[in-house]
């Protein structure tokens, strides 16, 4: 049983018995009367009447004149609208003069023009609701006027296929509205109907829109699943959508949107987990949040690893994890110095037995343990960081108040006192760059800077203890030097090397033979590689203040790594080698006593912060 209006029409009227004469009955090949009406399916019924040739009167002997009239009408593309149009005239002429070659030629031209008009109507049916109706009107004329023409029969087939595609479009739209998309294997739904419509009529814009609508519906399902944190289902819907219109960017765009939504949700859970880990007794909640995160995070998502590490480390490091680099916010709106979280643990502090260059003040060797990690400045405090402190507070350092400091003089190769030198100057007394370690600062200047940072951040900053400094400098090493060999490895740090030369060609008299680092004087902070803890320049560049008062040895020294301080002490401890230190002063156990007001071109500082 035919399903489509055009098919019904073709079955009833493909071969017409009408001979084109006036008043001739509209019959089928068996002589039965043909139904005069054709219904086109659509949004409401559209009725196209069967075409009846209008009555045409031609007087005897006027045939040549009528032929000319038909040719004029054909040239003006007046094909069938009235009795004096080309096709009605040619039907009457053909009935009277069936063998006339002029009439046959004009009929052939008229048929071609009629088919061209019908094809134009079919071409605009996607944008013009009347296009298919007009195409059927043309087909009705063609069934009567040129049913024997193969080109006309092909055109009528195109109408049938257009009817079928429209019917399939309607079925697809109903399925789409009902939510039956046809995306599952073996399921017949909207997608199959739209694709069949495209097969019937390639370029069917309505079917193409329907296919795109199926894709959009699948994407909406993916987005709905993502909104419920069901990202596995969201990906399955996206994969289904990707098979609808392969090669289009729509699905990939949706995938990117959902990936952003997923990342945002994971970051939200990360924030919740981090906040829970900070609360007292909050670890169970943090672990539950991690479980939720693992259910929705993509494999290998670093946020999950970050929260897991935070939970694992919170007992030892509070907010942080070993090796983490962070900065604290200042009340002024800027950030504090980069800090590195030093891992908790223990080490043997002091000079080893038989250590060359060691002094009695570096003994006895004793064990120190840090039950909780601490944070240490990644590099020495820089000129720029100290400048920010001075500008914010108006602080006047010791060298500023005293009016001089100790600098290096290239002319003599000695350290000499020079007026007008303070923290703003380099080792030669010239203006210092902001990325250089700050020099010409006393222990009290360093402590004033630490106190300001504490006020700005609400955290506890201070100078490191001797134990913290040596533990950080060793970073797990046990030898006298921070590295395994007697000669520093390439780019170990800014040390005195046998290959170093000053601008005028001076050399060091006591230096590491075979080593050179390219600097005569301090290097910019952090220029050389970090040690195993992520800290720079602890063994070289500039020596540094620590918090301890000077003691002649370690008897009764704290075993927990806290500073060993006597109230009101003047003699302080310096740690770490400098750009002008002899090899013995680069040892990890080396320590030196000096007045806390000392300022010079070899001495700076860095800070630690409680976690």
Give the pLDDT confidence of 473-497 residue by residue, as tens digits: 999 999 999 998 888 998 899 999 9
Computed over every residue of the chain, the mean pLDDT equals: 90
pLDDT score for 35: 44
Distances (CA, A) of 552 to 132, 369, 598: 107, 21, 19
pLDDT score for 176: 95
> What are the DSSP E strand ranges found in 458-567?
461-462, 543-549
Q: Is the pLDDT of residue 455 over 60?
A: yes
- Mean local confidence (pLDDT), 216-231: 95
Q: How confident is the model at residue 609 (pLDDT cuts 50, 70, 90)?
A: very high
Tell me how far apart the terminal alpha carbons of the chain are, to the nearest angstrom: 84
* Nearest CA among 131, 215, 140, 206 for reference residue 167: 206
For residues 192 and 182, is the Cβ–Cβ distance under 8 A? yes
Read off the tokens for 537: 């320049």
Q: Is the pLDDT of residue 504 over 50?
A: yes
- Report pTM: 0.55
* Nearest CA among 424, 429, 437, 435 for reference residue 397: 424
Q: What's the half-sphere exposure (Cβ side, CA atoms, 13 Å) at 384?
A: 11
Q: Is the pLDDT of residue 28 over 50?
A: no
Q: How confident is the model at residue 11 (pLDDT cuts 50, 70, 90)?
A: very low
Handedness of CA 130, 135, 139, 145 (dihedral sign): positive
pLDDT score for 20: 35
Q: What is the enclosing helix (H) or strand (E) of 231?
A: helix 231-242
pLDDT score for 250: 95
CA angle 522, 523, 524 (to 5 degrees): 125
Percent with pLDDT over 70 in the chain: 92
């Amino acid at each position: 049983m035919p399903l489509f209006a055009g098919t019904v029409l073709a079955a009833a009227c493909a071969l017409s018995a009408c001979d084109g004469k006036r008043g001739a009955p509209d019959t089928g090949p068996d002589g039965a009367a043909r139904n005069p009406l054709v219904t086109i399916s659509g949004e409401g019924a559209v009725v196209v009447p069967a075409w009846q040739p209008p009555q045409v009167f031609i007087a005897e002997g006027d045939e040549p004149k009528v032929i000319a009239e038909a040719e004029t009408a054909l040239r003006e593309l007046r094909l069938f609208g009235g009795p004096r149009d080309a096709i009605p005239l040619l039907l009457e002429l053909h009935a009277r003069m069936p063998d006339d070659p002029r009439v046959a030629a004009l009929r052939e031209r008229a048929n071609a023009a009629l088919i061209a008009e019908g094809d134009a109507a079919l071409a605009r049916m996607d944008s013009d609701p009347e296009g298919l109706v007009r195409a059927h009107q043309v087909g009705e004329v063609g069934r009567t006027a040129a049913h024997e023409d193969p080109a006309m029969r092909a055109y009528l087939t195109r109408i049938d296929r257009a009817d079928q595609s429209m019917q399939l479009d309607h079925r697809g739209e109903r399925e789409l509205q009902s939510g039956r998309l046809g995306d599952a294997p073996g399921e017949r739904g909207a997608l199959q109907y739209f694709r069949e419509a495209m097969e019937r009529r390639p370029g069917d814009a309505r079917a193409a829109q329907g296919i795109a609508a199926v894709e959009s519906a699948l994407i909406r399902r993916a987005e709905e699943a993502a909104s419920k944190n069901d990202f596995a289902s969201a990906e399955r819907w996206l994969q289904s959508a990707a098979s609808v219109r392969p090669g289009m960017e729509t699905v990939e765009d949706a995938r990117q949107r959902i990936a952003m939504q997923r990342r945002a949700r994971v970051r939200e859970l990360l924030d919740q987990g981090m906040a829970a880990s900070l609360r007292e007794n909050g670890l169970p909640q943090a672990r539950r949040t991690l479980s939720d995160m693992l259910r929705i995070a993509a494999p290998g998502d670093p946020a999950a690893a970050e929260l897991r590490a935070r939970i694992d480390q919170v007992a030892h490091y509070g907010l942080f994890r070993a090796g983490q680099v962070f900065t604290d916010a200042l009340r002024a709106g800027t950030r504090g110095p980069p800090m590195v979280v030093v891992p908790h643990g223990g080490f043997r502090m002091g000079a080893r037995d038989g250590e060359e260059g060691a002094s009695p003040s570096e003994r006895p060797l004793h064990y120190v343990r840090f039950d909780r990690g601490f944070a240490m400045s990644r590099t020495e405090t820089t000129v720029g960081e100290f400048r920010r402190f001075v500008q914010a507070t108006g602080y006047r350092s010791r060298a500023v108040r005293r009016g001089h400091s100790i600098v290096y003089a290239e002319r003599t190769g000695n350290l000499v006192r020079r007026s007008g030198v303070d923290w703003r100057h380099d080792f030669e007394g010239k203006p210092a760059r902001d990325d250089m370690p700050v020099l010409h600062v006393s222990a009290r200047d360093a402590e004033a800077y630490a106190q300001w940072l504490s006020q700005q951040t609400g955290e506890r900053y201070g100078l490191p203890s001797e134990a913290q400094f040596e533990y950080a400098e060793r970073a797990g090493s046990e030898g006298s030097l921070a590295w395994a060999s007697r000669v520093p490895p390439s780019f170990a740090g800014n040390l005195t090397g046998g290959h170093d030369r000053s601008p005028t060609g001076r050399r060091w008299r006591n230096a590491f033979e075979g080593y050179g680092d390219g600097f005569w004087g301090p290097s910019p902070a952090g220029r050389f590689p970090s040690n195993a803890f992520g800290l720079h320049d602890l063994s070289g560049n500039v020596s540094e203040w620590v918090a301890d008062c000077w003691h002649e040895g370690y008897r009764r020294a704290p075993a927990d790594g806290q500073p060993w301080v006597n109230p009101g002490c003047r003699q302080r401890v310096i740690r770490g080698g400098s750009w002008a230190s002899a090899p013995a002063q680069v040892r990890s156990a080396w320590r030196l006593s000096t007045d806390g007001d000392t300022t010079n071109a070899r001495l700076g500082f860095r800070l630690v912060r409680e976690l």
